[in-house]
Chain A
Amino acid sequence: MAESIIKIEGLTKTFGSGATAVTALDNINLDIRQGEIFGIIGLSGAGKSTLVRCMNLLERPTEGKVIVDGMDLTALHEKELRQARQAIGMIFQSFNLLMQRTALDNICFPLELAGVSRKAARERARELLRIVGLEDKEKAYPAQLSGGQQQRVAIARALATNPKVLLCDEATSALDPTTTLSILELLKRLNRDLGVTVVVITHEMKVVEQICHRVVVIDNSRIQEIGTIEEVFRRPKTEAARKLVFPQTEHTVKFSGKGKFLRLAFNGNTTDRPIIAEMVLKCGAPVNIAFADTKVIDGRMVGHMILQMPEEPEIVRKMLSYLDSQNIIYVEER
């Protein structure tokens, strides 16, 4: 097992005091390993942003320790903490570029803060622009760039000082599905090529599914579930994880018959082949589609569907094994 790069021990964060106090995080323990892409998923207000902001102490924990690369950040003085932050890159939903600086000068910014000479900084910034595929945009101002391009500049800026960790707070939530995919691919590539540990905060399971190795589900200020993508998404154990994998129940058509209802989730990991039709043909029995809300984005199917299964257990078993073979996530609808 790889070494730990971020270790969080007994972290609690309370905003305000007295009757109006809000506990955003409640006794969080977490161990993120060097070189992995780690997902933190939860619904809005779950405490994800607060947790990631505690990882570089933009938010100071009320209780607990934050150990990054062997150093307890909560024990550092202001100056040491600023130094430590240069080893932790961060990107945001709204990009947060300096609007009055060019793409190149934005990337130079953290290098200036670190006292790197102007010439060396520009050289490094050009190299990073090349890495994120924007070598022709060095003179462009953020207002002249698309959202996806701005996020690429932000990623380049966050990586300028060679950090060991890249924190991403809803980094793709302001982008369209196609751009989201390309940014996720970039993060994956940077993780592979540079070995940077990536922490991805999101409320969208397709993001986590696309790039994360492990994921933690946060709900109600607490960790509900942690594990590999396989473990958490294919067989969610907690209600919180179920809610994320299978967004809330909609009106479904009720058919007569005793067959069980099965909820299928398509998360962009299947192509738009007619999976249900193939399953029906292969297993030789019909199913009812009680509800469907799927769409195809870039040739990948996204959304979910509720099927009423046949009554015969033998056929149901065959169908489930077919779905397994196709990597379709499903749970029995209660």
Chain B
Amino acid sequence: MNIVEMIPIIVKELWATIYMTLASTLASYILGIPLGLILVVTDSDGIHPNPAVNRVLGGIVNALRSVPFIILTVAVIPVTRFIVGTSIGSTATIVPLVIAATPYIARMVESSVKEVDRGVIEASLSMGASPLQVVLKVLLPEAKPSMIIGAAIATTTILGYSAMAGFVGGGGLGAIAINYGYYRNQTGIMIVMIILLVLIVQIIQEIGNIIARKTDKRIR
């Protein structure tokens, strides 16, 4: 098959890639934001220190982050089968993607929230803010621009993982690259896939930067 004949397949898998990436990012953020916030709040110099919770969650996050993604994907196949019913295809890939990305995003959120000036937190406590009010009205809004930049980085990382999943039965552009570009030795296809992935990364990064710049009021 030449590239022109491949176009419908490419378009279909491009959508699969976008679907996997966005769905996984969204799910990972839904889990990762609370996790990151708990890590900050329960830290020894946080607003509600809890060494036990902090150490257990921190340990889980570190453990998950140290397993290479490909190995994780294979290792969680039973879980994937249980949740999705199959371990093959785009939707199935979302499961290992979320498991891999959540701890990563929790750390990104943690680092963004830790950038919030200690003095501002102190000032809100002096005004009688409760820990929950500090989280909702101070930490999250003040960390927002930094978290948006983090989200762009996280999304591109998840995109990279999703392409990797193509090696072990996932769909998307990665699957085309491996099935046609590598197994059938079609260098042209491989190059097109690489260009497409690079383009998507650039677009996501640029959108992230623009939104962060627009929302950050620290810039005059």
Contacts and interface: CB of A to CB of B under 8 A. Distances in A.
Given A86-B128, A143-B220, A144-B220, A96 B141 contact: no
A141 B217 contact: yes
- Cβ-closest 6 pairs across A and B: A96-B123, A85-B128, A141-B217, A96-B119, A82-B128, A110-B127
Contact of A113 (B127, B141, B215): B127
A34 interface: no
A261 interface: no
Nearest to A154: B123
Interface stretch (B14-22, B27-35, B53-61, B129-137): B129-137
Given A85-B127, A88-B126, A113 B144 contact: no
Contacts of A141: 217-218
Contact of A100 (B119, B124, B129, B142): B142
A114 interface: yes
Contacts of A114: 128
A112 interface: yes
A56 B128 CA distance: 10
A275 B206 CA distance: 66
Contact size range, A: 20 to 34
Interface in A73-114: 82-86, 88-90, 92, 94, 96-102, 109-110, 112-114
Contacts of A2: none
A99 B142 contact: yes
Contacts of A142: 217
A96 B124 CA distance: 9
A58 interface: yes
B84 interface: no
B203 interface: no
Interface of A: 56, 58, 82-86, 88-90, 92, 94, 96-102, 109-110, 112-114, 141-144, 154, 157-158, 161, 167
Report whether over half of chain B's contact residues are helix, strand or loop; otherwise say mixed: helix
A109 B128 contact: no
Contacts of A158: 127
Contact of B218 (A58, A143, A154): A143
Contact of B125 (A58, A98, A144, A167): A58
Nearest to A88: B126
B144 A97 contact: no
Contacts of B128: 82-86, 110, 113-114
Contacts of B125: 58, 85
A141 B130 CA distance: 25
A266 B31 CA distance: 62
A139 to B, nearest CB: 11
B120 interface: yes
Contact of B130 (A56, A82, A84, A88): A82
Contacts of A167: 126
B119 A99 contact: no
A118 to B, nearest CB: 13
Given A83-B128, A85-B128, A99 B217 contact: yes
Given A88-B126, A109-B124, A94 B119 contact: yes
A113 B119 contact: no
Given A90-B126, A100-B145, A100-B215, 10 more contacts: A86-B127, A96-B122, A97-B123, A99-B217, A102-B217, A110-B127, A113-B124, A113-B127, A113-B129, A157-B127
A91 to B, nearest CB: 8
Contacts of B142: 98-100
Contacts of A161: 127
Contacts of A110: 127-128
A58 B129 CA distance: 12
